[in-house]
Amino acid sequence: MTTQELAPAAKVTEHPLRGKRILVAKPGLDGHDIGAKIVALALRNAGAEVIYTGLRKSAQHIVRVAVDEGADAVGLSILSGSHCELVGQVMERLREAGAGDIKVFVGGTIPEADHAQLRERGVRGIYTSDMPLEQVVRDLAKALN
């Protein structure tokens, strides 16, 4: 990661997420995580404690870590096109684990046509690469505070 790539994350100077624990996860087989890492850095700079699971994690693993870490929110980064299926799996596992109150956010390549379906499944926010990091931080802070 270059300094130029990290520069947008450095713009977040307030700490509206102080005290919040946010899990950032890459479900499925997608192997591209630079965006997830930039978002994780922005969340950390906004005061959140960020737990990053790494690449290619199952829904079961993501939920186990979220519950074990006492996460306030889970952010799923999905670029593979299988966002509806992967989100459905994570939401179902959260409910099965008695953790349906953990808020779920999704970022990545998410077509507008799929937003309504994701929201119906319980997703609190959907973020694409054209959204400023400051907006992502503001939205998460509003949803978690």
The string of pLDDT tens digits covering residues 115-140 is 999 999 999 999 999 999 999 999 99
SS3 128: coil
The string of pLDDT tens digits covering residues 28-63 is 998 999 999 999 999 999 999 999 999 999 999 999
Widest distance between CA atoms in the chain: 42
Query: What are the E-state strand segments in the chain?
Result: 21-25, 49-52, 73-78, 103-108, 123-127
Domain residues for the domain of 138 are 3-144
Task: Indicate which CATH number applies to the domain containing 105.
Answer: 3.40.50.280
Phi, psi of 73, deg, nearest 5: -150, 155
Count of structural domains, the chain = 1
Q: How far apart are CA 107 and CA 25, in angstroms?
A: 10
